[in-house]
Structure 1
Amino acid sequence: MKSIITFGMLVCVLTSSMLAEEKPQAQTKRSSSESAEKESTHPNIVVFLADDQGWGDVSHNGNTNLHTPNIDSLVRDGVRFNRFYVGAVCAPTRAAFLTGRYHARTGTTGVSKGEERFNSDEYTIAQVFKKAGYATGAFGKWHNGTQYPNHPNAKGFEEFYGFTSGHWGHYFSPMLDHNGTFVKGNGYITDDLTDKAMAFIKKQVQDNKPFFTYIPYCMPHSPMQVPDQFWDRFADKKLEMHNREPGKEQPDHLRAALAMCENVDWNVGRVLKELNRLGIADNTIVIYFSDNGPNGFRWNGDMKGKKGSLDEGGVRSPFVIRWTGHLPAGHEVDKIAGAIDILPTLADLAGIPRPEPKPIDGVSLKPLIMDSASDWPDRMIFSSLRQRISVRTDQYRLSHKGELYDMTKDPGQRNDIAKQNPEVAAKLKQAVASWQKSVWPDGYSKDTRPFLIGYGGAPTTQLPARDAISHGGIKRSSRHPNCSFFYHWTNTDDSITWDAKVVEGGTYEAVLYYTCPQADVGSTVQLSFNGSNVQGKIIEAHSPPLQGEAQDRAKRSESFVKDFKPMVLGKIKLSPGTGPLTLRALEIPGSQVMDFRLLILRRVP
């Protein structure tokens, strides 16, 4: 039963039993009439997206340090793309996948402080499939905005269970978002997300409805937490394969990442077995890919770069698509492709219309998948992160610094050949300039979009600390904003603000998530916006310890977490308009006001 909870990151015993890896069970035989009925409907869709898993973090790409038999089975039974490109960091890849457009066009320029949001008028793959009659569900890390119209429920996903931030601070029974309501997770997060995705799939089969199921895991993104069964495989294991710069490897981080990848593989296997058990494996398209290069130095096929880099190792991802009985099993594609192509490809394979309020950049990969593209045209795929841009063709990569590499002869990018090939370099530089002009007609500029309140009649608006700015002596718990909180709030001149825009006015109940020791209870806090305000007093102590360190397998740079308690501040009447939404203290009887994590504005009659 779903229950509303405090902002707790509580460790609990895993409820999912860690079974030994098994191969998917054989497809249950069906009668010819059942098969004909299934074949006449649109295929189901399951999309797995790993987080910070590099091209080399799967055994089918040659890494003997780990074993990923379930992902490898998709390669055996499906189509593998050997040169598939995503963003250099998380949110841009998700924006490209969801919209079919280069992330720079969508307004997604970074991973936090609002830069992870795509523009409010972007149209997503979930909206495409929902319009075609599919049930749509997302289970995991969203990372493309928290407030409407960027929340998953506002972008085509009828069911959402996971978190909207760029990373989460604790992976054992954390607080999660279920359709806009906070609930307590159940065990290790990857296992829990898989449980919920499988339940969703089962329900749609029972209702005889095609489904689009998106499973964006948060592994192996830090914090490096993984259950003992997986960690124990690597704690003392001798690793045979190493990064091209082995001296930069961090052993504990590396081993934890491999263990987390094996946990992901185990959960992929659970879903594949469930598709078999339900008798729908041959009418379900399954995709597996990752969002950027590895989040650390580890073996990655001698490629240059890792997460955050625009070199090959930073933007090349494993990619496989399986549709049993429909796509050529074991087929490999060497032509370049990317996350922007997934939307048009799935719509094409599923035979559904593709409404496009905005033109997309991706193309359908169906001819390559079916091995029928005898005249596939030459193509360029652009990779960018803010103002850095690199471009890849089937033969060359031009780096953001203007270096030119022949990737067919020099896949490790060791020899710059720009001077020896000035015409090729000039052509690609011109292509970069033209692309840059098309995505930023007025030039690149810093994100100044306000956070929206009450958009489209949204019942609640979440305003976490990561989206806020602190003033005065208030400090953030980590330089990484995504799962952070504010502390050291000691002065009435200090404040916390959001650059906000109230889209639909009305009365809102303000709820703060806070911690405060008994000695500091009593501060009076005010929330104000364009002349309207509400104030309340902290009357109840709540001072839990920080959590996460005991479960970490490697030292973290992100914030630890704790159990934040909700407090109803009161009701505030907000009129449409733009300005700073400000939280400040009017009176501080103790040494501090509180530690602050989250503000929720709930629309009331």
Structure 2
Amino acid sequence: AREGASFERFFVCPVCSPTRAEFLTGRYHPRGGVTGVTQGGERLNLGETTVADAFAAAGYATALFGKWHNGTQYPYHPLGRGFQEFYGFTSGHWGEYFDPMLEHNGKIVKGSGYLVDDLTDKTAAYIRKCVGDKRPFFAYLACNIPHSPMQVPDRFWSRFEGKELAMRGTIPEREDLDHTRAALAMCENLDWNVGRLLDTLRDLAIEKDTIVVYFCDNGPNGWRWNGNMKGIKGSTDEGGVRSPLLIRWKGTIPEGKTIPQIAGAIDLLPTLTELAGVPRIGDKELDGKSLKPLLLEVEPAWPKRMLFSFWNKRVSVRTQRYRMDDQGNLYDMTLDPEQKRDVAKQNAGTAAELNQHLQQWKQTLAAARPDDRPFPVGHPDFRYTQLPARDGIPHGHIVRSSIHPNCSFLTQWTSLDDFVSWEIEVLTTGEYQVEAFYTCPGKDVGSTVELSFNGQTLRGKITEANDPPLRGAQQDRVPRTESYVKDFRPLNLGRIRLDKGRGQLELRAIEIPGSQVMDLRLLNLTRV
């Protein structure tokens, strides 16, 4: 903040996938088909173009390290959305932050050490390579913390373990103090890693040639101090959607500048492309606007505007002074930043105007739309397709390992009537090698499973035990609600011919000699 500009009133979405979609496209997330955070609802429509598309078209090297959360299967995958390099995970929350299962350009790999440290290492190495190759770069580092599970290395946790907290959440009785301490420790780790990246830019002598942007994707994921704002993650009130925004461009953006005008994630694409002199790709109308005048001009001419926040059928609208919530309550955010006093009656004209815009937004962008998009398999430009348990539908006795589908696995598969299905569309006819990432205790080895799609079948047998313990609890600073994880091993089921077309991919057991078939994390299909 001391070396660049700080926005006092910057707004994102109440949850993660929508914010990422708005950053990527410069458009409100319902326009891009992002309706949820899991099971396909997080996917960004293929007709949308991204900020990475724009920079790639201009000759930049483009890379994403970390959490994507806008689609797993190509072309929803980051490598289909303008990024040329990807290392991280495509899901929402991740179940393990130490040596986790990750992906590198479609291939499943194992991370090294604490996840944010690993992602930062990879980002710094990528930047060094780009500088060595004399290529301009667009690097997107999307860290997973302070999202739960609350895992953080000892050297950061020790700074907060057992410490008294001077600043508390707005509802103290709902605050888990160790959860807050862990979040603070995670922020310390994040701060350290951001510092390492800034040191990399300094050491490479490219600080004056590099724009650095820092922001968050939603409000806190628990009841903890957030400046006494109303709401947390998931809320369309101020506390659910207000985020820091810091932008540094040494030698160009004045140091220590504070910007009071409201802005949002939708503004980042037009801002970055204009600052870099990169033409925008695509012809869809943007909701955002370039913040360049606010960053570079002393007294910019800046028109009045409204920013909308939407999630779970709730909409709020923010102006420079007011916020109207989903119930039509009006708050003067200058005099009442905690949203305690409804002033709609005292400001009837303003309330009527904002309510009209809010209702119009509800009827258009917030209107429910059916999502019948299948999961694509076998795109001609990409060999690999992951079908995680998250995207499958369990039938019979099979259940998810958590009520939160992201990073979950399927378990309690005990009957021949049980099966898992995925609604897919095969984009390229051909032979596909199939792996099932599984666990199975030794006493239950021997089940035969059958994979089928539109009349084509493949049978495979579980011949080896893989019975690792659940991972995560030993690293958690507080108990989690998400799924624990295991070291799932790939089981080679063989090859299946898949013909182009849409249908239901089903995985069933046709023989169960023990008490269960297996626990299933994902299917991995590779076009041969």
Confirm whether residue 333 of structure 1 aligns to residue 259 of structure 2. yes
Relative contact order: is structure 1 or structure 2 higher (C-alpha 8 Å, sep ≥ 6)?
1
- Distance (Å, rounded) in 2 between the aligned partners of 1:495 and 1:425: 53
Aligned pair count reads 528
Contact 1:468 1:497 in 2 (8 A): yes
Superposition map of 1:356-435 within 5 A? 356-372=282-298, 374-435=300-361
- Distance (Å, rounded) in 2 between the aligned partners of 1:439 and 1:553: 40
- Matching residue of 1:180: 106
- Matching residue of 1:486: 410
Confirm whether residue 575 of structure 1 aligns to residue 508 of structure 2. no
Deviation of 1:220 after TM superposition, in Å, equals: 0.4
After superposition, what is the alpha-carbon deviation per residue over 1:441-472, rounded to whole angstroms, capped at 9, x for unaligned?
Answer: xx313433211112343201100000111010
- Distance (Å, rounded) in 2 between the aligned partners of 1:421 and 1:590: 70
- Matching residue of 1:465: 389
- Matching residue of 1:47: none
Match of 2:34, as an amino acid?
T
The runs of at least 4 aligned residues of structure 1 exceeding 6 Å deviation read: none
**Helix, strand or coil for the counterpart of 1:549?**
coil
Confirm whether residue 551 of structure 1 aligns to residue 479 of structure 2. no
Contact 1:243 1:298 in 2 (8 A): yes
After superposition, what is the alpha-carbon deviation per residue over 1:194-232, rounded to whole angstroms, capped at 9, x for unaligned?
Answer: 000000000011011111010000000111000000000
Deviation of 1:311 after TM superposition, in Å, equals: 0.3
Match of 2:377, as an amino acid?
I
Match of 1:276 among 202, 205, 213: 202
Confirm whether residue 107 of structure 1 aligns to residue 26 of structure 2. no
- Distance (Å, rounded) in 2 between the aligned partners of 1:578 and 1:424: 50
Superposition map of 1:143-542 within 5 A? 143-372=69-298, 374-439=300-365, 443-542=367-466
**Helix, strand or coil for the counterpart of 2:385?**
strand
Match of 1:587 among 505, 511, 526: 511
Q: Could you state the TM-score of these two structures normalised by the residue count of structure 1? A: 0.86
Contact 1:457 1:504 in 2 (8 A): no
Contact 2:107 2:384 in 1 (8 A): no
After superposition, what is the alpha-carbon deviation per residue over 1:278-311, rounded to whole angstroms, capped at 9, x for unaligned?
Answer: 1111111001000000111111111000000000
- Distance (Å, rounded) in 2 between the aligned partners of 1:596 and 1:438: 40
**Helix, strand or coil for the counterpart of 1:413?**
coil
**Helix, strand or coil for the counterpart of 1:596?**
strand
After superposition, what is the alpha-carbon deviation per residue over 1:467-515, rounded to whole angstroms, capped at 9, x for unaligned?
Answer: 1110100011000100100110001111101111112222211111111
Q: Could you state the TM-score of these two structures normalised by the residue count of structure 2? A: 0.98
Deviation of 1:373 after TM superposition, in Å, equals: 5.1
- Distance (Å, rounded) in 1 between the aligned partners of 2:308 and 2:481: 30
Contact 1:148 1:456 in 2 (8 A): no
- Distance (Å, rounded) in 2 between the aligned partners of 1:567 and 1:245: 48
- Distance (Å, rounded) in 1 between the aligned partners of 2:344 and 2:395: 48
- Matching residue of 2:525: 601
Contact 1:223 1:552 in 2 (8 A): yes
- Distance (Å, rounded) in 2 between the aligned partners of 1:306 and 1:415: 19
- Distance (Å, rounded) in 1 between the aligned partners of 2:182 and 2:370: 35
Deviation of 1:422 after TM superposition, in Å, equals: 2.7
**Helix, strand or coil for the counterpart of 1:448?**
coil
Match of 2:521, as an amino acid?
R
- Distance (Å, rounded) in 1 between the aligned partners of 2:292 and 2:300: 12
- Distance (Å, rounded) in 2 between the aligned partners of 1:504 and 1:422: 59
Superposition map of 1:131-150 within 5 A? 131-150=57-76
After superposition, what is the alpha-carbon deviation per residue over 1:63-102, rounded to whole angstroms, capped at 9, x for unaligned?
Answer: xxxxxxxxxxxx1110110000001001110010011111
- Distance (Å, rounded) in 2 between the aligned partners of 1:145 and 1:600: 15
Contact 2:169 2:225 in 1 (8 A): yes
- Distance (Å, rounded) in 2 between the aligned partners of 1:509 and 1:92: 34
Root mean square deviation, CA, Å: 1.1
After superposition, what is the alpha-carbon deviation per residue over 1:263-288, rounded to whole angstroms, capped at 9, x for unaligned?
Answer: 00000000001110011111110010
Please say which of residues 378-387 and 196-205 is displaced more in the overlay. 378-387
Match of 1:500, as an amino acid?
I
- Distance (Å, rounded) in 2 between the aligned partners of 1:302 and 1:230: 25
After superposition, what is the alpha-carbon deviation per residue over 1:99-123, rounded to whole angstroms, capped at 9, x for unaligned?
Answer: 1111111111111011111111211
Match of 1:273, as an amino acid?
D
Deviation of 1:435 after TM superposition, in Å, equals: 2.6
Match of 1:218, as an amino acid?
N
Please say which of residues 190-199 and 575-584 is displaced more in the overlay. 575-584
Contact 1:453 1:503 in 2 (8 A): yes
Deviation of 1:562 after TM superposition, in Å, equals: 0.5
After superposition, what is the alpha-carbon deviation per residue over 1:346-396, rounded to whole angstroms, capped at 9, x for unaligned?
Answer: 011111111223222110000111134543111011110142111111111
- Distance (Å, rounded) in 1 between the aligned partners of 2:291 and 2:116: 30
Deviation of 1:561 after TM superposition, in Å, equals: 0.5
**Helix, strand or coil for the counterpart of 2:390?**
helix
Contact 1:91 1:116 in 2 (8 A): yes
- Matching residue of 1:18: none
Match of 2:185, as an amino acid?
A
- Distance (Å, rounded) in 1 between the aligned partners of 2:9 and 2:225: 17
- Matching residue of 1:10: none
After superposition, what is the alpha-carbon deviation per residue over 1:410-464, rounded to whole angstroms, capped at 9, x for unaligned?
Answer: 1100011223323222211211232334436xx3134332111123432011000
Unaligned runs of 5+ in 2: none
Contact 2:53 2:281 in 1 (8 A): no
Contact 1:143 1:166 in 2 (8 A): yes
Match of 1:469, as an amino acid?
I
Contact 1:116 1:143 in 2 (8 A): yes
- Distance (Å, rounded) in 1 between the aligned partners of 2:77 and 2:165: 41
Unaligned runs of 5+ in 1: 1-74
Match of 1:151, as an amino acid?
H
- Distance (Å, rounded) in 2 between the aligned partners of 1:282 and 1:371: 18
Match of 1:383, as an amino acid?
S
**Helix, strand or coil for the counterpart of 1:105?**
helix
